[in-house]
Amino acid sequence: MLISFHVLRVLASNCAGAGCDWFISLSLLLPLLILVATAATGLAAFSDASRERASSAWAIGLGVITLIGVLGPVASLAIFRDSPDRFIPVVTVLAALVPISALVYTFSSSGDRGAEGG
């Protein structure tokens, strides 16, 4: 979704006139979908890490990263409201932290489960 947002942004910058009106709804919907997906991914990873007793550090870390990934873009909007060229990269990094962290957790915990035989 992040990549599609950036592609949409490039296409919209090269578009002019009434034929570009369809970009408006997508440009509003896609960031909201990214925020929802970020929250869902973070909550799923946090929930999984919370169930495992040995991974309490992972649970705390994933919880903090999820909060940063969800609340960070909202705070960034207030901070960078007049400069979208700064806002977009910051929000991209904040939103990408959550799925990347969830992937790292998944691969590290699946290696631990494989060693345990379960």
Question: What's the mean pLDDT in 105-109?
Answer: 85
Distance CA 46, CA 108 (A): 14
Q: Which tens digits make up the pLDDT trace of 16-64?
A: 777 777 777 777 788 888 899 999 999 999 999 888 766 688 999 999 9
pLDDT the model gives residue 112: 56
pLDDT at 114 over 60: no
What is the DSSP code (8-state) at residue 54? G
Domain regions of the chain by residue span: 34-111
* pTM of the entire predicted model: 0.77
Portion of the chain with pLDDT greater than 90, in percent: 36
In contact, 1 and 37? CB cutoff 8 Å: yes
